[in-house]
Amino acid sequence: MPLLEVKNLKTYYYTLRGVVKAVDDVSFTLEKGEVLGLAGESGCGKSTVAWSLLGMPPSPGRIAGGHIYLHDDEAGETYDIANMAEEELRSKVRWRKISMVFQGAMNALTPVHRVGDQIAEPLILHAGMTKEEAMNRVVELLNMVGLDDTIAMRYPHELSGGQKQRVVIAMALALDPDIVIADEPTTALDVVVQAQILNLMKELQWKKKRSIILITHDLSIIAELADKVAIMYAGKIVEIGPSSEIFNNPQHPYTQLLLKAIPRLRGPIDKLAYIPGTPPDLMSPPPGCRFYPRCPYAMDVCMREEPEMVEVGKDHYVACWLHSKR
């Protein structure tokens, strides 16, 4: 049984202008110890998936359908996050089983509180620790992410970008969750610090057999860490499979174009590809395949009917009429 099973998830934003179908029928699984990379251009629904997994899509968003099954080995129970009461989510799932490394460390930290107090807060509130027990755990967590104890007494503005990002990772690990979602964890960091943070995440995942969902628009980061990759376009997963398959044998035209847009240091210097056009308005997405206005292989059927996911290799699935039977 997978640790997490997302089935036909729909998360919509109910705005005054209409309903934005940000995540529209998304399904995937995550095994214990697996790193899943969720990639796609900005606005494709990656972050909405992340927030939905915590049962808290940003307002005016709501989970409109589907299931998010989380298997809790310790309790011997399976929860459906998509259909759980808020109180139960807070006491059983959020931060304890699934936590999140937020996008942009500075936004995740409160400037007026010391770092140690901020890491201690969920330990006191959610794990019922005393202040002293919480501070001992704070030191343990800081050391785990490669920071020394004195950082606990500092304010966020006294830390470098890399140190702040480590603190945010320590916060996400506070209650020892089974799954950590990292949303653009290295955005705004220079390449050296970026590499350090990725190494840290690899180490933390490997030591505890923790599962990670890594969300980024940067496929080179996913190539470093992920076992499995899901490519999202306009609120849907269009291709999913083992990392080696996605990077060496991509089957969806969108994936192929995304990969061509990664700069390479080795090999012949090619002109970087770009994907002409923009993703559709998710308030009124086109019928059929949502990629057809930008797809170099678009056919008549693509404009009329939505392609279903088909298996094109071991555990490798793609939604494209080039592979589906008509």
Does position 297 bind ligand SF4 by CB under 6 A?
yes
| CA–CA distances in Å: residue 58 to residues 22, 32, 87, 159 | 11, 27, 17, 29
Among 13, 95, 291, 317, interactor with ligand SF4 by CB under 6 A: 291
Q: Which of 89, 106, 298, 309 binds ligand SF4 (CB under 6 A)?
A: 298
Cβ proximity to ligand SF4: between 130 and 278 the closer is 278
- Segment 252-271, which members bind ligand SF4 (CB under 6 A)? 252-253
CA distance 254 to 294: 9
Q: Does 289 bind ligand SF4 (CB under 6 A)?
A: yes
Single out the residue of 174, 189, 259, 295 in contact with ligand SF4 (rule: CB under 6 A).
295
Amino acid at 317: Y
Cβ proximity to ligand SF4, 46 vs 252, nearer residue: 252
| One residue of 105, 141, 219, 302 binding ligand SF4 per CB under 6 A | 302
SS3 233: strand
Task: Tell me if 189 contacts ligand SF4 by CB under 6 A.
Answer: no
Single out the segment in contact with ligand SF4 by CB under 6 A; choices: 18-26, 55-63, 88-96, 294-302.
294-302
Q: Does 101 bind ligand SF4 (CB under 6 A)?
A: no
Cβ proximity of 212 and 225 under 8 Å: yes
**Residue 320 sits in the site that holds ligand SF4 (CB under 6 A):** yes
Nearer to ligand SF4, 60 or 277 (CB): 277
* DSSP annotation of 252: S
Interaction of residue 225 with ligand SF4, rule CB under 6 A: no
Separation of alpha carbons 36 and 242, rounded Å: 9
Distances in whole angstroms, Cα of residue 265 to Cα of each of 257, 262, 324:
18, 10, 35
| Cα–Cα distance measured from residue 165 to residue 103, given in angstroms and rounded to the nearest whole number | 9
CB of 233 to ligand SF4, least distance (A): 9
Task: Report how many residues bind ligand SF4 under the rule CB under 6 A.
Answer: 14
Among positions 46-85, residues that touch ligand SF4 (CB under 6 A) are: none
Q: Does 231 bind ligand SF4 (CB under 6 A)?
A: no
Q: Measured from the CB atom, is 201 or 295 closer to ligand SF4?
A: 295
Check if the beta carbon of residue 318 is closer than 8 Å to that of residue 309.
yes
CB of 297 to ligand SF4, least distance (A): 4
Cα 209 to chain centroid, rounded: 18
Task: Pinpoint the alpha helices (H) of the chain.
Answer: 46-53, 86-88, 105-108, 115-127, 131-144, 161-173, 191-208, 219-225, 243-248, 253-260, 300-304
Tell me: does residue 322 bind ligand SF4 (CB under 6 A).
yes
- List CB contacts of 268: < 8 A, sequence separation 6 or more: none
Q: What is the smallest separation between the CB atom of 208 and ligand SF4, expressed in angstroms?
A: 38
Angle at 231 between CA 226 and CA 233, to 5 degrees: 155
Least Å distance, CB 289 to ligand SF4, is: 3
Of 13 and 292, which has the nearer Cβ to ligand SF4?
292
Q: Which is nearer to ligand SF4, 247 or 291 (CB)?
A: 291
Query: Is residue 312 within the footprint of ligand SF4 (CB under 6 A)?
Result: no
- As a three-state string, the secondary structure of 31-50 is CCCCEEEEECCCCCCHHHHH
Residue 253: CB minimum distance to ligand SF4, A: 5
Residues in the chain, total:
326
Binding site for ligand SF4 (CB under 6 A): 252-253, 289, 291-292, 295, 297-299, 302, 307, 320-322
